[in-house]
Amino acid sequence: MVSASGILGYGFPESSLKAGLSRKPHMIGVDGGSSDPGPHYLGSGKTLSSRLAMKRDMALLLQGAIANRIPMMIGTCGGAGGEPHLQICAEILREIAREHDLHFKLALIHSEQNKAWLKDQLQADRIHPLGGAAPLTESVIDRAERIVGMMGPEPYRAALEAGAQVILAGRSTDPAPWAALAMHHGMPPAQAWFAGKMLECACNAALPKKHDCLMGTVAPDYVEVEPLNPELRCTPLSVAVQALHENASPIIHKEPGGLLDTSACEIKAHTERAVRVSGMQWRPQPYTIKLEGAEKVGYSAITFAGTRDPGLIAQIGDFIRAVRESVATKVAAFQVSPEEYRLVLRLYGKDGVMGEWEPLKDATTHEIGVLAEAVANTQDLANVVISVTRVTLLHTDFPGRMCKEGNMAFPFSPSDIERGAIYEFSLRHVVEPRDPYEMFPIEFENV
């Protein structure tokens, strides 16, 4: 099995895909998304990668799959795997098929969840919090812009069994496409899941790390991985390091229906560039599906400025407190109550990166950047608050002030930037479906 790249649209060398296809793989696939870039994509319905970048990757994969009569699968389409993300990927795929006169059976696997169904599950006590989250409530479901379930490999297998050659799926656990294909061909779940884990980030498991194609071979008692670019290699260490990537534990991976346990794994170099892993175990658990949701929390406007004034920097804490008080007074004069907006001030050069976790409280610096953000229920109000904040940052007096023309250097005109609607991840829960399929309807189409 081939994994083309870290995420659809991140790119890969065409020569690597060709090298992969020459080895007659049983499928080619790519992961399409992640929650890593934050809640915006799930909330807004916009894609993570650009349409152009996704089309470039998808065209090469589709042509390769059709020419070699093998399946092509993309998980978590469009970055977040919601319905708009799946639809834009399907539209790109159809466009490529028209342009290259390609014909195939397509399966679209939907992952966006019906709110009424979720409320029924809540009533039936089939939704449980994860990691200390509060129990789910109907109002959290109602407020969510979009909720997706993270599917396992089973819907992919069902699509394969129904003869689909191309599978575009909504939100999926990252290993799902490859785990599905391997199990479809009779490989045991432990090896199939492990292969998926290795392949989901493609050459993240290789050295040097690159956006490039990775080949994975699954046998009943081992998994072998090898990069398809001759300049890259997998070593036992690079493969072990992949197990650390973006997981809470490198040893126990929680997946729908079980745990992948790698504690007894043996990782051995098979050639200079290929690594074989054996000893992985699959421990079946009650079948649960992770839910992801994003809700709109308001509208944001920002402004950015920097100070080079040593007198101001020496009393930045007091200055910021004075700015906050002054902004509150001025905004209150517009008959706006303090509950209607939030003002977030990030101080770069002080603790803009780590916030309260910053251990260096009193480090000296010659510049501080102030990123001011106003969040309110309307864009208009966010704009009003950021405008007042800009002026207040510029002109608030402080003891020993030498440059009364302005406290801050603003790099842009206009200085205030509308960010539009903003979202937060709002669910951290699993649901127990009656079976692995009911949440993920499959739609077939002859393209």
Partner 1 sequence: MPKLKDIAKACKSKNAGPFELTLDIMFDDAATFDKVRKTGVISPQLIADLYRVPVESVVFTEFPPAHAYKATIARRIASGAVGDTDVYGAQQHAPLLDVEIPI
What residues make contact with partner 1 under the rule CB under 8 A?
35-40, 131-133, 236-237, 240-241, 243-251, 265, 267, 292, 297-298, 342, 344, 346, 352-357, 359, 373, 375, 422-425, 428
Q: Given the complex with partner 1, which of 111 and 165 has the nearer CB atom?
A: 111
Residue 375 beta carbon to partner 1: minimum distance, rounded to whole angstroms: 5
Residue 268 beta carbon to partner 1: minimum distance, rounded to whole angstroms: 11
Residue 305 beta carbon to partner 1: minimum distance, rounded to whole angstroms: 17
Distance CA(1)–CA(226), nearest Å, equals: 11
Per DSSP, the three-state class of 253 is strand
How distant, in Å, are the alpha carbons of 39, 182, 241, 246, 275 from that of 238?
30, 23, 5, 15, 9
Tokens at residue 237, please? 């260490």
Residue 5 beta carbon to partner 1: minimum distance, rounded to whole angstroms: 18
DSSP string across 343-359: EEEEEETTTTTTGGG-S
By CB atoms closer than 10 A (0-12, 13-18, 19+), residue 68 is middle
Q: Given the complex with partner 1, which of 246 and 438 has the nearer CB atom?
A: 246
Q: Given the complex with partner 1, which of 92 and 375 has the nearer CB atom?
A: 375
Q: Given the complex with partner 1, which of 165 and 389 has the nearer CB atom?
A: 389
Contacts of 236 (CB under 8 A, 6+ apart): 267, 268, 269, 275
Residue 103 beta carbon to partner 1: minimum distance, rounded to whole angstroms: 39
Q: Which residue, chain included where needed, has tokens 């991985």?
A: 225
Residue 61 beta carbon to partner 1: minimum distance, rounded to whole angstroms: 26
Q: Given the complex with partner 1, which of 359 and 411 has the nearer CB atom?
A: 359
Residue 218 beta carbon to partner 1: minimum distance, rounded to whole angstroms: 20
Q: Given the complex with partner 1, which of 55 and 253 has the nearer CB atom?
A: 253
C-alpha 186: how far from chain center: 30
Q: Given the complex with partner 1, which of 66 and 260 has the nearer CB atom?
A: 260
Per DSSP, the three-state class of 38 is coil
Q: Per DSSP, what are the bridge partners of residue 215? A: 2, 226
Per-state percent for the chain, helix, strand, coil, to nearest 5? 35, 30, 40
